[in-house]
Amino acid sequence: MSQTPPSVSIIIPAYNEQATIRSCLLAAVMQTVAATEIIVVDNRSTDATAEVVRSVMAEHPTAPIRLIAQNDEQGLIPTRNLGLDTATGDVLGRIDADSILEPNWVEQVRLAFADDSIAAATGPVLYYDMPLRRFGLRADDRTRRVILKLSRDYHFLFGSNMAIRASAWREIRGEVCRDHADLMHEDIDLSIHLAQHDLKATYVSEMVSGMSARRLEDSPRDYAFYVNRFDRTYASHRLRNPMLRAPMVVFFFIYPLAKLMRSMKQRNDRIDARK
């Protein structure tokens, strides 16, 4: 165990996220234990994403927010990579621009990485724009635990809520897949390369991030393409353990009910707005 708690950077790749980036940043700032830095990597946004970030920086001048641009190419992976390469913390937290961290997220990450054997960590998510949010969090946590048990020693990272030790990132940096065709899950690719180097990833139930369920607004075809990224990622790495497909089964199984619940909440929100 480390005697000194590790410093934590938060990296947020962003492309046209003017509607969500403010809430994401405010949650990252309002932590029980402050992050060393909060880096927003803007990837050629054509909306007001950068302006919203600058306005939050002006409102919170002591917050360690940094805005950098990744203009060389369009894509999540090069944008993520620049953020991870630029960060200076001992541990690199990676979230999405629609993630809303629970107030003790940084604190929980520091506790997890006090164990020097941990190279990466991930946790459950709370879908903040779905009904029965806390019940949903418990269900998400329980489901992820079952998936991890089924997959035995393999641990998944989840891009909306993950952290990786800076030294581990440097070790796999030259091997992570670029995925120019955009067919894979970049977070699962990270998990695979960590496992190939015997770098331990762990699951932390207390490391909670909120995220939007906006994926459910995709057409069934687009949703299926997204879920099948699991299969394409494993196939590209020649991993054939059928238990690794467990997340695919879960996502396909819950899709009809989750989509119905989201539609009902959106309808109720519209009714409430008219009152």
The mean pLDDT value of the chain amounts to: 93
Give residue 267's pLDDT: 82
**Strand 91-94 vs strand 125-127: parallel, antiparallel, or unpaired?**
unpaired
Q: 8-214: what fold?
A: Spore Coat Polysaccharide Biosynthesis Protein SpsA; Chain A (3.90.550)
In percent, how much of the chain has pLDDT > 70?
99
- Predicted local distance difference test score (pLDDT) of residue 66: 98
Please tell me the distance from the alpha carbon of residue 220 to that of residue 226, in angstroms, as a whole number. Answer: 10
Residue 112 has pLDDT above 70, yes or no: yes
- CA 4 to chain CA mean position, Å: 26
Give the pLDDT mean for 54-68. 98
192-246 pLDDT, tens digit each:
999 999 999 999 999 999 999 988 888 899 999 999 999 999 999 998 888 788 8
For tokens 């006090």, name the residue: 114
Q: How far apart are CA 147 and CA 191, in angstroms?
A: 14
Asked whether 78 and 72 are in contact (CB, 8 A), the reply is yes
Q: Which of the pair, 176 or 149, is modelled with greater confidence? A: 176
| 17, 56, 88 from 64: Cα distances, Å | 20, 11, 12
Q: What is the pTM of this model?
A: 0.92
- Using CB atoms within 10 A of its CB, is residue 205 exposed (0-12), middle (13-18) or buried (19+)? middle
Can you tell me the distance from the alpha carbon of 262 to that of 64, in angstroms, rounded to the nearest whole number?
35
Predicted confidence at residue 31, as pLDDT, reads 98
Q: Quickly list DSSP for 35-90.
A: -SEEEEEE-S-SSSHHHHHHHHHHH-TTS-EEEEE--SS-SHHHHHHHHHHH--SS
Q: What is the mean pLDDT of residues 64-81?
A: 97
In whole angstroms, give the CA distance from residue 231 to residue 35.
Answer: 35
| Residue 80 clears pLDDT 90, i.e. is over it | yes
Confidence of residue 251 (pLDDT cuts 50, 70, 90): confident
Q: What is the pLDDT of residue 153?
A: 66
Mean pLDDT, range 166-190, rounded to an integer? 96
3 pLDDT band, cuts 50/70/90, is confident
Query: In 10 A of CB 268, how many CB atoms?
Result: 11
* Every domain of the chain and the residues it spans: 8-214
pLDDT for position 150: 80
Q: Is 232 exposed, middle or buried (0-12, 13-18, 19+ CB in 10 A)?
A: middle
